[in-house]
Amino acid sequence: MEFQRFKKLLSSVASNKSGFTLTEVLVGVLVLSVSIVTTTNFLVSMIRSNLANTTSLQAYYYTQEGIEAFRNMRDTHFMHNVNYRGGGVGFWGALGGFETDGPYTVGLNLAPSPIASGENISGSASWKLSAGDVHENVKFYKTTGDISDTDFKRSCVVEDYEVDDVAEGNAVLVTCMTFWEEYGRDREVSLSTILTDWKHE
């Protein structure tokens, strides 16, 4: 009798009664797969942040280029004894300067035309400075001389800035920003510098 009971118990264990159905297993596998794939994607995107580092390095240098543009313009204005922000009348007015109003788009002008007598001097400007929030893509100058659009956009803002010992209106805070999109997210690098009119008495 004991043996009969044991046999019955054994057969009930061996049968499918206490196991999983195929549907249950499939759902289980599905859930596990989804979680593994999600975790993997997360890990991979974490690891890919190194790639993002190189992209922000590019953006950093483009931003620096924007800042240097304003410094270069200021210094060029110094050399010509015009207001450090440029503008005004005459040739330098035609070249255009920067005021403390709103964003500017600044780009390289690597092929400025030679200045012939009587020609518009703006043709000689080494920078393309335009007011307004128009974000042109930054240009990359290839060795071959080709110019290609990058995926970056740059915008610079000039603001009044107060510095000790510098008369009001003789210092500006220039902030340049470079924007780009990465894996569907907006990213940005921003740099600032203070430019003063140290030539001003």
Partner 1 sequence: MRLARGVRRGGFTLIEMLVAMAIFMVFTGIMITSYMSIVKALNGAEEYRILYAEARHIFDVMTDSARGGVVYPEERFPCNAEFSATDSSSVVKVVLANSKFAPRETELEFCAKDGLNKVKFTFDDVSEDGGLVMTEYTRSNLDENFIGKEVDLYSDEVRVTSFSFYVWPLKNPFSSENFGSSNLANTFHPKVTFSAVFEKDNPRGGDPFELQLQTTISLRTYN
Enumerate binding residues for partner 1 (CB under 8 A).
Answer: 10-11, 14-15, 22, 25-26, 29, 32-33, 36-37, 39-40, 43-44, 47-51, 53-54, 57-58, 61-62, 64-65, 68-69, 71-72, 75-76, 78-80, 108, 110-118, 124, 126, 140-145, 150
> How far apart are CB 121 and partner 1 at their closest, in Å?
8
The angle, 0 to 180 degrees and rounded to 10, between the axes of the packed helices 49-79 and 22-47 is 30
Shorter beta-carbon distance to partner 1: residue 168 or 184: 184
Shorter beta-carbon distance to partner 1: residue 130 or 167: 130
> How far apart are CB 84 and partner 1 at their closest, in Å?
12
Distance, in Å, from the CA atom of 69 to the CA atom of 114, rounded to the nearest integer, reads: 20
Q: What is the largest CA-CA distance in the chain?
A: 122
Distance, in Å, from the CA atom of 44 to the CA atom of 179, rounded to the nearest integer, reads: 24
Q: Please, how many CA atoms are within 13 Å of residue 81, restricted to the half-sphere of its CB?
A: 0
Shorter beta-carbon distance to partner 1: residue 11 or 130: 11
> How far apart are CB 126 and partner 1 at their closest, in Å?
5
Distance, in Å, from the CA atom of 186 to the CA atom of 175, rounded to the nearest integer, reads: 18
Distance, in Å, from the CA atom of 169 to the CA atom of 172, rounded to the nearest integer, reads: 8
> How far apart are CB 54 and partner 1 at their closest, in Å?
5
Shorter beta-carbon distance to partner 1: residue 58 or 100: 58
